[in-house]
Structure 1
Amino acid sequence: MRKYFSAFIFLIVIGVTGCRDERESLPPVILLEQQLYETVVGETVTVTPEYENCGEGTVWLWTCDGETLSVEESLTFTSDEAGEYYIMLTVSNSAGEDKAELRIDVYGMMPPEISLPGAARGFSVLQDSLLVLAPEISSALPVTYSWTIDGKTVSTDSVYTFPTGETGTFEAGLCVENRDGRDEIEFTVEVMSPGEAFSWTFDRTEYGISSGRSLLLRPQDIEYPFDAVYTWSVDGTEVQSGESSEYVFDLTAEGSYTVNVTMRNSYTAASQDLTVTVLPAEGTYFRAADASSNASISKVYEYTPAPGQFINDGVTLTTQEEACSYAFERLSQGQFVSLGAFGGYLTAGFDHSVESSTDGGFDLQITGNAHSSSSEPGIIWVSQDENGNGLPDDTWYELRGSEYGKPETWQDYAVTYYRPSSNGTSIEWTDNRGSSGTVDYIPAYHSQETYFPLWITADSYTLRGTRLEDRLVDENGNGSLWIGHPFDWGYADNWSGTDPDIDKFRISDAVRWDGEPADLTYIDFVKIQCGVQAKGGWTGEQSTELTLIRDLHID
């Protein structure tokens, strides 16, 4: 939108001789080095073109929206109102005239913004180890830094190495200032002794598995194990002990088992009980399709996207139930549902069991909005209703795609997203490989208050899955054209100009945790999860989109 000159613009006329040729027999020529100028409210910008054929009798006229700004050779411009100002310069003499348009962008107050991924959660570090705090500062103006620990200023450098010689929990802070204002963050740093440092997580403590199948049990996000030994027991009987933190449960007798894992190292010990229920064999809860069965999904059970530019866009959802209804309604109408950045997912089910083809044919169709310059691949997971309760709380199996097992494909990749401290800002993330970044806020295209899902009430949440290689490329090197290159096969929202079956999938491609075939004869639930963590300048984050999920065995 154009904004024009107002009464708040002040002009200072400066006469500078810029003529290179005083021949009056030729019309004037304007030589502008640039057509876009930038300044901030209250500051001046001077435009001084060069000219040819400007002798006595030459007339200069600078206008904005029909109002005269200056009649001199140069223009010094000031405004106390932010906006885009389109300026017309007309130079004339007895032989003719020349015109040139330029734009002056006046920005409002520009206080700095601090981005320090992980600060919202706080930092934990081992005693006498290295913790380097290197924030990213958004500011067009020079800034100053002030780091504090427990209220005392300790540094004015842009990067700070936190002292870790003393154990304890410390209150730290950073204040960054420029001429227009300041930004501040506060966070905790916990410095731990070796005996305090060990930690692990479990995605769940109750598991079910059909009789005849095996189940991989393992803790996740293990920190500071040192010389750990993991001891596994089933119903009080030790079954495994050693350096491996993984245990394969393969008992086949139906019933409930208590599985314990205990970690011991030279400094501490930790223990966790898990419950594993061996369920009836596959097929017990199979639901055959009949004449009333629908090819499309019958329900969305969970819609948990990562942050992204399409999240909260034009809709306000405050509960998971509302989010699921919204997603189901859009898919029912063939409209896209965005999964946001890496890890965002949607879980859906059918009103019948979808059988696996015995002749190698396709079983599922999952479409997105991929096109020749944009593939945003999603990983597909499938599950049987092994416990017969009608809910997707059973074992998930990944559908193997063309990138499965390659070194650039990361299994068990996890990203934690943090609620932003204010609206209209980018969303920070950290991952379980020591990296961090942001899902960028791009108000020029999506100006909702925040890209953080409104129905997620926690201040942070973690999404875990399989990450594919980043194939988003700045095609011509100047940021104007970003291409998301496709993968060969096996992923949702993936483009092919030659393969008409690129959006069709086989249940027979389901694999166990070890890459071996899962040998599922049918499935009841499907989960699609964004499999990339990438962003491309003005295009924003890559995010898998879905428009259709259906059983190919039903017309």
Structure 2
Amino acid sequence: MNKILIALATTLFLTGCSKDETPSEVVLPEVTFDEPTNGFTIDKMQWFHLQPKLKNPDNVTYTWLLNGKIIATTLDLMYVFAQAGTYKIDFRVKNNSGEIFKKITVNVNEKTYLNGVKNVFEFFPAPGQFTNALPEATVKDTDETMRKKAETTLTTGSLVSLGGFGGYIVMGFDHTIINKEGNDFIVLGNAFSNWAEPGIIMVSSDVNNNGKADDEWYEIAGSEHNKPTTIKNYELTYYQPKSEPENPSEPNYIRWTDNQGQTGYISKNAYHSNPFYPTWKGTSITLKGTFLKANLFDKSGTGTYWVNPAYDWGYADNWSNTDEKAQIDINWSVDKKGNPVKLQGINFIKVYNSNRAEGGWLGEVSTEVSGFKDLNL
């Protein structure tokens, strides 16, 4: 009897050990996607999106390779080809059970693109001496009619004014601006020697592939980005005046307050009779962004010669369009926390005025945008 009990106990013990210690079976992942007979076809400088279907996704790693170089480590592939041709891409999926390999063909067509702005998605100027004038606005205008006017202005070779701090424009293009080695693009303005009106540049990629500027934005971190005088998350609220002043040089024209506890006024400039507050907006507007301390000063000491020297690099309407220091590298992009990001390419650009400054009779420092140039075309 004791021998039987011992044998039974031993059997139960061994059975328990086997159940606890034997690893669960790991199943090889299954990957499928619908590839056309002759491979995928896309135009150059357009995003190639591929979303494979996956079974058994536990503890899986992904590797996409082009010419032996890793181009992605996610299940979905998002890639842009700079040149036409036929490309072979290797896709490797691996877990503890093993690794599977798939090879796809991508045929990339040649395509000619516009080297300039195709679309304006938003136009929202802050109060300024050229607001309601560049482009012209009336009391009948709306956000949509002004967007169209700004789009027509930039696609026909003229310029728009963004007014004072925070005024912005969002632009789109007919192709992806690819992040190549070196500088990639210029936002055209009208800066000249000793008079810069720097605008901060934001960039975004069409990750969701819907053609709209609704994906995450990244700031081009220029030379002033980490200076102690720079204020992140700055907010400025402008208040519409009840009427236009009789004094053509009224100093207390448009009141403003900010989130730093400061308040002040935009002066009326006698050289511009148009209303400075955007006529199609409400009684107050709040604009947000990174505030940069202007280099503005009165060189004459008598108020007759104001200068605003350019920042070193990284902004719109900062250096003349022909100066290499006006060029922007997509690799200067940072996220909301200030961390550098590596973008393959971008599809949308936002520019907003970074300064709140007035230069006497010259009026406020107001960023202007006159177009765009892709340095890779």
Report 1:109-148 matches (<5 A): none
Deviation readout 1:45-86 (Å, 9 max, x if unpaired): xxxxxxxxxxxxxxxxxxxxxxxxxxxxxxxxxxxxxxxxxx
* Equivalent residue number for residue 414 of structure 1: 235
Equivalent residue letter for 1:440: S
How far apart are 1:352 and its partner, in Å? 1.6
Tell which deviates more after alignment, 296-305 or 306-315: 306-315
Which of 249, 267, 280 lines up with 1:455 in the alignment?
A: 280
Q: Does 1:296 align with 2:120?
A: no
Q: Is the 8 A contact 1:493 1:546 kept in 2?
A: yes
How far apart are 1:282 and its partner, in Å? 6.8
Query: What SS does structure 2 have at the residue aligned with 1:349?
Result: strand
Report 1:287-366 matches (<5 A): 290-313=110-133, 315-317=136-138, 318-357=141-180, 359=181, 361-366=182-187
How far apart are 1:518 and its partner, in Å? 1.1
Equivalent residue letter for 2:309: H
* Equivalent residue number for residue 399 of structure 1: 220
Count of aligned pairs: 271
Q: Does 1:283 align with 2:78?
A: yes
Equivalent residue letter for 2:78: G
CA distance in structure 1 between the aligned counterparts of 2:109 and 2:346, rounded to whole angstroms? 12
| Cα distance, 1:380–1:323 mapped onto 2, change above 3 Å | same
* Equivalent residue number for residue 193 of structure 2: 372
| Cα distance, 1:479–1:387 mapped onto 2, change above 3 Å | same
How far apart are 1:290 and its partner, in Å? 4.7
| Cα distance, 1:438–1:281 mapped onto 2, change above 3 Å | farther
Query: What SS does structure 1 have at the residue aligned with 2:324?
Result: coil
* Equivalent residue number for residue 256 of structure 2: 429
Query: What SS does structure 1 have at the residue aligned with 2:348?
Result: strand
Q: Does 1:469 align with 2:293?
A: yes
Q: Does 1:491 align with 2:315?
A: yes
Equivalent residue letter for 1:400: A
Report 1:226-265 matches (<5 A): none
* Equivalent residue number for residue 513 of structure 1: 336
CA distance in structure 2 between the aligned counterparts of 1:398 and 1:492, rounded to whole angstroms? 12
Q: Is the 8 A contact 1:336 1:545 kept in 2?
A: yes
* Equivalent residue number for residue 370 of structure 2: 547
* Equivalent residue number for residue 445 of structure 1: 271
Q: Is the 8 A contact 2:188 2:373 kept in 1?
A: no
Deviation readout 1:157-215 (Å, 9 max, x if unpaired): xxxxxxxxxxxxxxxxxxxxxxxxxxxxxxxxxxxxxxxxxxxxxxxxxxxxxxxxxxx
Query: What SS does structure 1 have at the residue aligned with 2:372?
Result: strand
Identical amino acids, percent of aligned pairs: 42
How far apart are 1:285 and its partner, in Å? 9.2
Q: Is the 8 A contact 1:369 1:546 kept in 2?
A: yes
Query: What SS does structure 2 have at the residue aligned with 1:502?
Result: helix
| Cα distance, 1:284–1:371 mapped onto 2, change above 3 Å | closer
* Equivalent residue number for residue 37 of structure 2: none
Computing the radius of gyration from Cα coordinates, the structure with the larger value is 1
Deviation readout 1:242-297 (Å, 9 max, x if unpaired): xxxxxxxxxxxxxxxxxxxxxxxxxxxxxxxxxxxxx9857279998952321212
Query: What SS does structure 2 have at the residue aligned with 1:292?
Result: coil
TM superposition score normalised by structure 2: 0.67
Query: What SS does structure 1 have at the residue aligned with 2:290?
Result: strand
Q: Is the 8 A contact 2:80 2:178 kept in 1?
A: no
Q: Is the 8 A contact 2:170 2:350 kept in 1?
A: yes
Using CA pairs below 8 Å that are at least 6 residues apart, which structure has the higher relative contact order?
Answer: 2
Q: Is the 8 A contact 1:335 1:547 kept in 2?
A: yes
Query: What SS does structure 1 have at the residue aligned with 2:151?
Result: helix
CA distance in structure 1 between the aligned counterparts of 2:178 and 2:185, rounded to whole angstroms? 10
Query: What SS does structure 1 have at the residue aligned with 2:285?
Result: strand
Equivalent residue letter for 2:123: Y
How far apart are 1:495 and its partner, in Å? 2.8
Deviation readout 1:429-471 (Å, 9 max, x if unpaired): 11110111122111x21101x2111222x21111111111121
CA distance in structure 2 between the aligned counterparts of 1:363 and 1:465, rounded to whole angstroms? 23
Q: Is the 8 A contact 1:285 1:385 kept in 2?
A: no
| Cα distance, 1:523–1:491 mapped onto 2, change above 3 Å | same
| Cα distance, 1:282–1:488 mapped onto 2, change above 3 Å | farther
Equivalent residue letter for 1:336: L
Q: Is the 8 A contact 2:79 2:344 kept in 1?
A: no
Query: What SS does structure 2 have at the residue aligned with 1:455?
Result: coil
Which consecutive unaligned segments of at least 5 residues does structure 1 have? 1-278
Report 1:25-104 matches (<5 A): none
Q: Does 1:526 align with 2:353?
A: no
Which consecutive unaligned segments of at least 5 residues does structure 2 have? 1-73, 83-107
CA distance in structure 2 between the aligned counterparts of 1:280 and 1:502, rounded to whole angstroms? 39
Query: What SS does structure 2 have at the residue aligned with 1:303?
Result: strand
Deviation readout 1:462-504 (Å, 9 max, x if unpaired): 111111112110112211111011110111111369x831221
| Cα distance, 1:320–1:413 mapped onto 2, change above 3 Å | same
CA distance in structure 1 between the aligned counterparts of 2:285 and 2:77, rounded to whole angstroms? 33
Q: Is the 8 A contact 1:412 1:464 kept in 2?
A: yes
TM superposition score normalised by structure 1: 0.46
Q: Does 1:385 align with 2:206?
A: yes
Q: Is the 8 A contact 1:286 1:353 kept in 2?
A: no
How far apart are 1:400 and its partner, in Å? 1.3
How far apart are 1:315 and its partner, in Å? 2.0
CA distance in structure 2 between the aligned counterparts of 1:281 and 1:404, rounded to whole angstroms? 33
How far apart are 1:420 and its partner, in Å? 1.0
CA distance in structure 2 between the aligned counterparts of 1:289 and 1:362, rounded to whole angstroms? 25
Q: 1 or 2, which has the higher strand percentage? A: 1
CA distance in structure 1 between the aligned counterparts of 2:144 and 2:278, rounded to whole angstroms? 13
CA distance in structure 1 between the aligned counterparts of 2:75 and 2:195, rounded to whole angstroms? 44
CA distance in structure 2 between the aligned counterparts of 1:298 and 1:393, rounded to whole angstroms? 17
CA distance in structure 2 between the aligned counterparts of 1:397 and 1:447, rounded to whole angstroms? 37
* Equivalent residue number for residue 101 of structure 2: none
RMSD: 2.5
| Cα distance, 1:429–1:290 mapped onto 2, change above 3 Å | farther
Equivalent residue letter for 1:420: P
